Amino acid sequence: MPSSRREFLKSAAVVGAAAVTAAPLFADKASAATPPVDKDLEGVIEMHVHADPDVRARCIDQLTLTQQCRRNGYRAIMYKCHDFCTADNAYLLRSMVPGIEVFGGIVLNLNYGPRVNVQAARMATQITGHYCRCIWMPTYQSAYDMKKAGKTGVPVLDESGKVLPEVVKVMELCRDENIIFATGHSSPEESVILSAKAREVGVKKFVVTHSTQAPWFLSLDQAKKCLENGAYLEHCVLPYYKGPHSLLPKYFEARQTTMKDFAEYIALDPSHQFLATDCGMSKMPGPVDAMRDFIHGLRGAGVSEKDIDTVSRKVAAGLLGLD
């Protein structure tokens, strides 16, 4: 305890100064405590990432991740949730974290009915701000994923292998709104069929989700067919962290996608492919570190700086309507 009033006031001044210095960090008004390790993240766009609020465990929330991305120089980020639309949160995050573009979308899982729900998709595109940039077909509740569990999921094709009418209507909506139509967890075979239909309908932003992640992994021939149909291939770094080294037991037996695998597919046509992380779950690398791993890994696998710039920045900017 200070022995005099003067010493007490002096101590209080020091403490007060420290509090003033620390305050902006909590208010997110200061830069990161240390600069980024490198410049690889400057201008990068994250196209597929998960964060709280959600109905499953995540390692970070959307506000904190948006702040992290902005501090690391990202240009934009698009949030994905398997069960709820994220375009409304994007509107709020933009006002809370200026300096970065934030987008969302909707996944047409069972929350919106047993069939692809055209009305839910249409309403998502009308949310204040119009920041819905992607409509995903069913993911973990797709007919393909659910069939493996002996259950009925949300279909995208009929029994004869034709694209269902409601799916075509969503394609038309994406065409007219000039936003992304993504395959979700459709099978590789379904993705090829969907890509052909999207070309017929006139969809300009058709994306094959998880094109290099098992069990949705496209063969090289399937990838080439999708690219010929004008599709864009999404590459998520998440499967790079799978295999016996994973901290998640459910991934021990899963197929790992190597950096050489990613590089082989990117070489097919970098102008129609982009990077994402699909991270955000607990016991996995955080999304920002995962994106840095991805870029460094691709460079080590022989991908040129020009192509890295294309797949981490330019293609995504075009898909989101930023260029």
Extract the tokens encoding 45: 């766009």
54-84 per-position pLDDT tens digit:
999 999 999 999 999 999 999 999 999 999 9
Residues 6+ apart with CB under 8 A from 178: 204, 205, 321
Q: What percent of the chain has pLDDT over 90?
A: 82
Distance in Å from the first CA to the final CA of the chain: 62
More confident residue, 257 or 148: 257
The band of 25, judged by pLDDT with boundaries at 50, 70 and 90, is very low
- Domain contains 23: no
- Domain contains 119: yes
* Contact (CB, 8 A) for 51 and 62: yes
- Domain contains 21: no
Q: Name the pTM for this structure.
A: 0.88
- Domain contains 141: yes
Out of 2-6, 14-18, 68-72, 232-236, least confident range: 14-18
Q: Collapsing DSSP states into helix, strand and coil, what is residue 224?
A: helix
Q: What is the pLDDT of residue 247?
A: 83
139-183 per-position pLDDT tens digit:
999 999 999 899 999 999 999 999 999 999 999 999 999 999 999
Distance CA 108, CA 112 (A): 6
Domain region containing 116: 37-319
Q: What is the pLDDT of residue 245?
A: 83
- Domain contains 3: no
Check pLDDT > 80 for residue 2: no
Q: What is the pLDDT of residue 18?
A: 40
**Domains contained in the chain, number:** 1
Q: What is the pLDDT of residue 33?
A: 53
CATH number of the domain enclosing 221: 3.20.20.140
- Average pLDDT value for residue range 225-250: 94
- Average pLDDT value for residue range 220-243: 97
Closest by CA to 54, choosing from 75, 32, 83, 28, is 83
- Domain contains 25: no
Q: What is the pLDDT of residue 282?
A: 87
The band of 21, judged by pLDDT with boundaries at 50, 70 and 90, is very low
Find tokens 């949310």 and name the residue.
127
- Domain contains 139: yes
Extract the tokens encoding 30: 């200061």
Residues 6+ apart with CB under 8 A from 187: 144, 216
95 φ, ψ to 5°?
A: -80, -25
Find tokens 């690889």 and name the residue.
40
Q: What is the pLDDT of residue 11?
A: 45
Q: What is the pLDDT of residue 248?
A: 85
* Contact (CB, 8 A) for 53 and 97: no
- Domain contains 9: no
Q: Collapsing DSSP states into helix, strand and coil, what is residue 103?
A: strand
Check pLDDT > 60 for residue 266: yes
